[in-house]
Amino acid sequence: MAYDKLDQLAINTIRLLAVDATFKANSGHPGAPMGMAPVAHVLFNKFMKFNPKNPKWLNRDRFVLSNGHGCMLQYALLHLFGYKVSMDDLKSFRQIDSILPGHPESHDTEGIEVTTGPLGQGFANAVGLAVAQAHTAAVYNKPGYNLCDNHTYFFFGDGCAMEGIASEAASAAGHLQLGNLIGIYDDNHISIDGDTACAFTEDVTKRFEAYGWHTVWVKNGDTDLEGIEAAIKECQAVKDKPSMIRLTTTIGFGSLLQGTHGVHGNALKADDIKQLKEKFGFNPEKTFEVPQEVYDVYHKHAAEGAAAEQEWNKLFEKYVSEHKVLGAQFKRVLEGKLPENWQSKLPVYKPTDGAQASRKLSEAVLQAIHEELPELMSGSADLTGSNNTIWKNAVDFQPPSTGLGDWSGRYMRYGVREHAMAGMMNGMAAYGTVIPAGGTFLNFVSYAAGSVRLSSLAHHRVLYIATHDSIGLGEDGPTHQPIETLAHFRALPNMMVWRPADGNETSAAYYMALTSKGTPSILALTRQNLPQLEASTLENGIKGGYVALEDKSAQITLVATGSEVSLCLEAVKTLKDQNIKARVVSMPCVEVFDAQPKEYKLSVIPDGIPALSVEVMSTLGWEKYSHEQFGLNRFGASGPYKDVYKKFEFTPEGIAKRAVATIEFYKDVKPLRSPLNRAFEQLI
């Protein structure tokens, strides 16, 4: 179609809103919005379907701004199309308690699909959104009911293109033949250090071809709106490959500093803004100016989206009445509810049941619940047999042409791509119909730290199945034995770190992970066998911490997690031989324990006797729950795991020795308060 002055006016309106908002905030990134306004206009106004009045409509096209620093572009679009972003909101960009933070956050702003800014994350999120779409379509679409056919579009810049997570995600997307995914690469040759010639001279197009992507090059992304439209159309027609449009643009288009990194991360100067507005035919005396005809054209497109949703709603109701079982399931999933009584499927163990590694106990949970929870998609970063993340007869999520599975499959082969796995899972969770769970060794969850942080910040229900959780993995040695990992993720807000001690606690961990809609979980699981405990129940486990062995006349409380709980129970016997009485607390999840009523917590770790924590990794943070800490503030060792435990004195005797020292040390302190008693409350 032909483009006219109105299109140019809309584009310049977007550019100037970004310029004015960053100028007012005296902070932010005008360059990318100014360069990408043309493609954003074409994409949003000519291609994307969405309803600003219901930003959560399932079949909307998804948009991800992986170069999230350019968020004023997206905020301007949300405002112009009529999402809940007012002119006052635009004026409060980057101010305290504004709904428009310095980088896009899905939890803050309606219409933002995923939280981006940390470079490369949005790229992986987009791949995850496309995975979830392909899967949802395969499961629910029926002849005459094309309920799920949206595209995922994403923008990314040179920064994202350099990040490893984007490379991993691009390789995965190519393998998965995600034809519903279209990425637009802002090829503007500028990053913060200046011209990309100083560090980034690879052939990006060729690299994406090597991954199996379809590629197109639009050489003049500043003004060739027809070319942009043709490129997007061409990519939409490619059904068996993701597509990448290399869009050569001028960063800060129109500014006196256009094409330099001077417009990347700083507001424009006043005189530059003046000449820009004049050049664009805007009144240089006015700020935040939106011509009514721009609102009109965008509101018209929004109204078309609203109408499309209405049509879709009718089709959906018809579907529900025709495909009763699947329809009810689809409806339930869309409402974000788990099936009634699903938790009755969680395995329950008696103390007499055999010892098992908690990675195997986790497998048993997945085996038991996967039919009940069709929204659950499991997977692993190439450690399936070690992470035990697969259930019997699971079908791979694979392009049918591979002969290895199909789009309805629920098992993801992420490859050795931990960071992309986590970023993709964030996107999958954001789509709205999938609960993703993905496995790797606990030590290598750290490879994914950038995305794990965003699971927490963006409130995604994502499960990290993190096996081989300590020196207990044995022979692989210090390169694979986590020391700092649990401290790291316990310090991360809005993250549940679970380290279950046995079967019932493993079921409890899954129960909480699956029912906590806005909080991700890391399940730290052993390689080695653990006995089933006497006091462990689902009810106890979901409190995060509970008394595993009570003794009202105890002289000390031993607080432990995972594999060390049964060791502490052994240590109680050793102490008894020395006429010392001890009680044991199992603390599978400190974050969940923190949320219990204080009275309960003080019944678990009471005043009057000292508490000693026992966990075979960094002691950092255990001071919050214990007076003294037995842990491992050094790297581990390679050897059979029992030898490694012995080397570091993680034996009943080693624990008992420290318990005795702790009792002795605190005998004269009055009052001896539980460490849970604090002088003031923390801000949360």
Q: Enumerate residues 395-424 that contact a second copy by CB under 8 A.
A: 396, 398, 402, 404, 413-417, 419-420
- Minimum distance between the CB of residue 410 and a second copy, rounded to whole angstroms? 15
Is 149 a binder of a second copy (CB under 8 A)? no
Among 306, 492, 535, 547, binds a second copy (CB under 8 A): 492
Is 215 a binder of a second copy (CB under 8 A)? no
Q: Evaluate whether 493 touches 459 at the Cβ level (below 8 Å).
A: no
Among positions 347-386, residues that touch a second copy (CB under 8 A) are 380, 382-386
Among 226, 240, 643, 653, binds a second copy (CB under 8 A): 643
Among 41, 151, 214, 627, binds a second copy (CB under 8 A): 627
Among 1, 2, 198, 270, binds a second copy (CB under 8 A): 198
Q: Which is nearer to a second copy, 24 or 41 (CB)?
A: 24
- Minimum distance between the CB of residue 455 and a second copy, rounded to whole angstroms? 12
* Token pair in block for residue 458: 């963006």
555 three-class SS: coil
Is 304 a binder of a second copy (CB under 8 A)? no
Among 180, 631, 656, 674, binds a second copy (CB under 8 A): 631
Is 175 a binder of a second copy (CB under 8 A)? yes
Among positions 466-485, residues that touch a second copy (CB under 8 A) are 474-480, 483-484
Q: Evaluate whether 406 touches 440 at the Cβ level (below 8 Å).
A: no
What DSSP state is assigned to residue 181?
E
Q: Evaluate whether 427 touches 126 at the Cβ level (below 8 Å).
A: yes
Sequence ranges of the binding site for Mg(2+):
158, 188, 190
Show Cβ contacts of residue 329 under 8 Å, excluding neighbours closer than 6 positions.
374
Among positions 426-445, residues that touch a second copy (CB under 8 A) are 443-444
d(CA 338, CA 342): 7
**Between 245 and 274, how does the x/- string for binding to a second copy read (CB under 8 A)?**
------------------------------
Is 217 a binder of a second copy (CB under 8 A)? no
- Minimum distance between the CB of residue 73 and a second copy, rounded to whole angstroms? 16
Q: Which is nearer to a second copy, 56 or 647 (CB)?
A: 647
Residues found in the chain: 684
Among positions 542-601, residues that touch a second copy (CB under 8 A) are none
Q: What is the dihedral of CA 365, 367, 368, 374, to 10 degrees?
A: 110
Stretch that binds a second copy, among 142-150, 187-195, 239-247, 515-523 (CB under 8 A): 187-195
Ramachandran region of residue 610, left (φ > 0), alpha (ψ -120 to 50) or beta? beta
Q: What are 362-368's contacts with CB under 8 Å, separation 24+?
A: 362/388, 362/389, 362/465, 362/467, 362/506, 362/510, 362/523, 362/525, 363/388, 363/389, 363/390, 363/391, 364/503, 364/506, 365/506, 365/507, 365/510, 366/390, 366/391, 366/437, 367/391, 367/392
Q: Which is nearer to a second copy, 327 or 520 (CB)?
A: 520
Stretch that binds a second copy, among 13-21, 287-295, 503-511, 618-626 (CB under 8 A): 618-626
Among 504, 521, 536, 618, binds a second copy (CB under 8 A): 618
- Minimum distance between the CB of residue 215 and a second copy, rounded to whole angstroms? 11
- Minimum distance between the CB of residue 671 and a second copy, rounded to whole angstroms? 7
Q: Which is nearer to a second copy, 240 or 304 (CB)?
A: 240
Is 105 known to be catalytic? Answer: no
- Minimum distance between the CB of residue 169 and a second copy, rounded to whole angstroms? 9
Q: Which is nearer to a second copy, 326 or 416 (CB)?
A: 416
Among 30, 38, 52, 159, binds a second copy (CB under 8 A): 159
Is 214 a binder of a second copy (CB under 8 A)? no
End-to-end CA distance of the chain: 53
Q: Which is nearer to a second copy, 234 or 484 (CB)?
A: 484
- Minimum distance between the CB of residue 240 and a second copy, rounded to whole angstroms? 13
312 three-class SS: helix
Is 392 a binder of a second copy (CB under 8 A)? no
Q: What is the dihedral of CA 119, 123, 128, 134, to 10 degrees?
A: 170
Q: How far is CA 419 from the centre of its chain?
A: 10
**Catalytic, out of 363, 418, 505, 628:** 418
Among 45, 106, 125, 167, binds a second copy (CB under 8 A): 167
Q: Which is nearer to a second copy, 355 or 669 (CB)?
A: 669
Give the E-state strand segments of 11-129 in sequence order. Answer: 62-65
* Token pair in block for residue 406: 């199909």
Among 53, 207, 345, 581, binds a second copy (CB under 8 A): 207
Show Cβ contacts of residue 344 under 8 Å, excluding neighbours closer than 6 positions.
none
Q: Which is nearer to a second copy, 301 or 658 (CB)?
A: 658
Instruction: Note the helical H segments in 408-464.
Output: 418-431, 442-445, 449-457
Among 55, 84, 138, 162, binds a second copy (CB under 8 A): 162
Among 446, 507, 519, 536, binds a second copy (CB under 8 A): 446
Q: Which is nearer to a second copy, 228 or 412 (CB)?
A: 412
Is 608 a binder of a second copy (CB under 8 A)? no
Edge-to-edge strand list for the sheet holding 152-156? 62-65, 152-156, 181-187, 243-248, 214-218
Interior/surface letters 166-202, b for 16+ CB within 10 angstroms, e for the rest: bbbbbbbbbebbbbbbbbbbbbbbbbeeeebeeeeee
Q: Which is nearer to a second copy, 483 or 569 (CB)?
A: 483
- Minimum distance between the CB of residue 84 and a second copy, rounded to whole angstroms? 18
Is 95 a binder of a second copy (CB under 8 A)? yes
d(CA 256, CA 406): 52
Q: Which residue has the tokens 């969680």?
A: 346
Is 684 a binder of a second copy (CB under 8 A)? yes
According to DSSP, the β-strands at 529-530 and 356-357 are: antiparallel
User: 10 Å Cβ neighbour count for 279?
Assistant: 12
CA atoms within 13 A on the CB side of 310: 7
Q: Which residues are catalytic?
A: 418
